[in-house]
Copies of this chain bind each other. A is one copy, B any other.
Amino acid sequence: MLPIPFLLLFLSSVLSPSSAADFCVADLSLPTTPAGFSCKKESTVTVSDFVFSGLSVTGNTSNILKAAVTPAFSSQFAGVNGLDISAARLDFAIGGVVPLHTHPAASEVFLVTQGTILAGFISSSNSVYYKTLHKGDLMVFPQGLLHFQVQRGGSPAVAFAAFSSTNPGLQIVSLALFGNSLPSPLVEKVTFLDDEEVKKLKKVLGGTG
């Protein structure tokens, strides 16, 4: 057999250091593009870029939702940038709820790892699909559709979600309606809700106008 250097020569001719293949670990200091964050130089990438420990921590459910979402999107987990996949952890105290929301840019699979959760979604045809999920059950929420998760039973629950985008987005309906500056008359006009209800929820959820 011939000496190794020839082989390495062969390899290095194929695999230029400026290659854009394989992965694109996010560098948040560079410009953002329609396809995600720009890439760190491969020479500075380490295994730590591909491992995220943030989902090992129980989320703080001491809030109005009695629930917490811990995301591992490309903003938090640079290694998934450009790979069309990301994840999140969901913690539910008793009575916890992840209210009606959409992910504008992703489908989701949702796995219950502890406790019992009632989960569901509503289709464009206005059909309702919901079911009580137990430990080990997996549910899929198609892209962009309204869905929700509600803790059930006598013990807290935990679930993990994965998304078909590194940046699925999250739009919670009640926050979109009552948690910003959208004027109350406009909220009422586009939802049919009455004035009293809108103003009450704006107070609770921090909305103005």
**Residues of A at under 8 Å CB distance from B?**
1-2, 4, 6-11, 13-24, 27-28, 30-39, 42, 45-48, 50-57, 62-65, 68-77, 79-87, 97, 99-100, 102-109, 111, 113, 118, 120-131, 133-146, 148, 150, 160, 162-165, 167-182, 186, 189-194, 197, 200-201, 204-206
Contacts and interface: CB of A to CB of B under 8 A. Distances in A.
A84 B87 contact: no
A161 B104 CA distance: 19
Nearest to A171: B124
A142 B24 CA distance: 9
A154 B77 CA distance: 29
A38 B31 contact: yes
A15 to B, nearest CB: 5
A65 B10 contact: yes
A21 B122 contact: no
A135 B33 CA distance: 32
Nearest to A111: B160
Contact of A4 (B68, B109, B120, B206): B206
A22 to B, nearest CB: 5
